[in-house]
Every structure is written in structure tokens, then in C-alpha cells.
Amino acid sequence: MGLFDSLKRDKQTEPKTVKPEVQETYEEDDQIDIEEVEIVEREVAPAIEDSRDVKPIKSYAEKAPVKRAVGQTKVMAIINQKGGVGKSTTAINLSAALGEMGKQVLLVDLDPQGNSSSGLGIEKSKVEHCVYDVLLNEVPVEDVIIPDVCEGLDLIPATINLAGAEVELVAEMARENRLKDAVGSMRGKYDYIFIDCPPSLGLLTVNALVAADKLLIPIQCEFYALEGVTKLLDSMKRVKTRLNPTLDIFGVLLTMYDGRTTLSRQVVEEVQRYFGKTVFNTLIPRTVKLSEAPSFGLPITQYDPTGKGSQSYNNLAKEVINRG
């Protein structure tokens, strides 16, 4: 018999104490004199304003002219089936850092939560079309792109409508190629196209795997870091065999690193041993500023330009460029 069973038995055998009902009575002399009641007026605190820098939603036709030649487009899916590992944080800040270095970047928010969209200051309730309409309503991708959300950075936003896409795509023809066809039309117009994937291995993620040339895998420096990554690699191999022969790992990024803990250092060593040279040298630290920046609708390079988080993502952007 377990500990909790004995506790339940003891609880059942305890005698119950019944409180006697007390009937409150009031005499005529107990009447409250309303004139003697003191009324205290208190000031109501003002409503907290939204701290996010909400950006105006422009059309693709209003995009600022590109003053240089764009190189060969590289399409990367930022992916990990585990949630809370820093996918959206990496998508926003790496894209912004590359944009500030003179690159043309398109960020595709493929997560129904829309964190990349709100993290860049986009008010999702004001978005007329999102990536859902590209996948299922055959809306041209140019009609969905929000240009110049940051320097050199355009965005295909996501709204809550995307939550139903997993079910609706099941009955569609060529369902795995919907995103590939849309992203393919943008090749030659951007240096990098990043896809922020949902934390699952459903049809949305499969679309990202088919559309991408390479994978960028963020891994949190925690105990369960490698749990589930093997399933992701199995999915990648199946997609590579049947749908996208060029798919491969571009890099593995270690996030939420805390150099003060032995655990973080051990995870770094284990990931480097498992993935080898594909692991980026840059470690993304766990900082308060990185957590605060999305609530202001700004990438870390604008919110805290001189901080550790900003320096880390700038270093990561340089690594991405050097890897070609």
C-alpha cells in the first residue's frame, strides 16, 4: 500500500466537525446610520499602455528599393519540435542582425502562435492576409509580405487562422509543397529566407522541411536538450529521401547558455560531440533583455544594441554569412 493510500485512509477516518449554524439577528437599535459612514474616494490607476512599438502595415509595393545586387537565396527552416528553445527569438534577432549588415531577409512566421510577428511589432488583429492564405486560399505571396519591418527585413506574418491549417491541408493536393511553391517565387529577391517553424512535426513543419535548403536547429542548454532531436533528424531523413534531396543541417545553435552552471557546459560538450562542426561557435546567453525585447516589438539589436544578447546575435549573423 502506497503512502498516498494511507494518507487518504487517515483522511477518511478523521471525525468531521460540524459548525453550528448561527442565525444573525438585528435589533432596531443596531440600524446603521448612513450619515455617519465615511466615504473614501481613491484615485484609479491609469491603464497600462501597450509597450510594443506597433509598426504600420505596408504593402509589398511600398517596399523601399534595394540598392545592391542580391546574392543566391538561401532558404533555412529554424526548427526544433521541442517548444521554448528559442526558435522565434533566433528567427527575429538573426534576421534583424543580417538585415543591419546589408542583407535582404524574408522571415516566414509559420507558427500559429505568431510570436515572430508580434515580436516585430506587428498587430496581428490588423493583418488582412497571413501565411494561412498563401497555403490554403492561393493568395499571392506578394500580397501577404509586410516590407521593411526592420532594416532589410520583410515579414510574412501568421495569425490564429493558421491553427486550422494542419487539418485543412490533409485534404489538399500537393499539400507538402504549398510553402515551397510560395517561397520559390521569392528566390532571387532575398539573400536569406528564414522559416520560423511550430514546435511539432505536423504538416506545417513538413512544408517547411520541403521548402528549405538547410536546417538551423536551436537547442536549449538544459537537461532535456537532445530529447526529441533524434525524431526531428528521422523526419529530416524521410523528407530528404522522398521529397527534398538537398535538405541538410546548416547549423546547430546553443541557446539560453549560462556559463555559471556546470549543466550548461556539459550540454555544450555533449551537443558538440554529437553534431560536430555543424555547431555554431556562438553561444546565445540567457539574458533578461532578450526576454523583454519582444514585448516592445523590437529585435534585440535595437532594444539593447550594446548588450550581450545583441552581440551574440551579431556574431551569429557573421558566422552564418561566413558559412555561405
pLDDT digits (tens, 9 = 90+) for 8-28: 444 444 544 444 454 554 454
Q: Which pLDDT does position 13 carry in this prediction? A: 47
Q: Which of 1-10, 50-59, 89-98, 171-180 has the lowest mean pLDDT?
A: 1-10
Helix/strand/coil for 240? helix
Topology (CATH level 3) of domain 68-323: Rossmann fold (3.40.50)
* Domain range list for the chain: 68-323
- Mean pLDDT for the chain overall: 86
Q: Which of 164-168, 213-217, 293-297 has the lowest mean pLDDT?
A: 164-168
Q: What is the pLDDT of residues 108-139, one digit of tens each?
A: 999 999 999 999 999 988 999 999 999 999 99
Which pLDDT does position 1 carry in this prediction?
46
**pLDDT band, residue 285 (cuts 50/70/90):** very high
Residue 268 C-alpha cell reads as: 555544450
Q: Would you give the DSSP letter of residue 17?
A: P
Does residue 68 have a pLDDT over 70? yes
* Residue 264 near residue 223, CB atoms below 8 Å: no
- Strand ranges of the sheet holding 153-156, from the earlier edge strand across to the other edge: 146-150, 153-156, 105-109, 192-196, 74-78, 214-220, 248-257, 279-285
For residues 76 and 250, the answer to whether their CB atoms sit within 8 Å is: yes
Q: How confident is the model at residue 60 (pLDDT cuts 50, 70, 90)?
A: confident
What's the pLDDT band for 43 if we cut at 50, 70, 90? low
116 vs 227: which has the higher pLDDT: 116
User: What does the alpha-carbon distance between residue 175 and residue 135 come to, in Å, rounded to a whole number?
Assistant: 9
- Global pTM reads 0.82
Q: Hey, what's the torsion of the CAs at 92, 96, 98, 102, to 10 degrees?
A: 160
pLDDT at position 9:
47
Digit-coded pLDDT (tens) for 137-180: 999 999 999 999 999 999 999 999 998 898 999 888 889 999 99
| pLDDT of res. 31 | 54
| 90 vs 39, higher pLDDT | 90
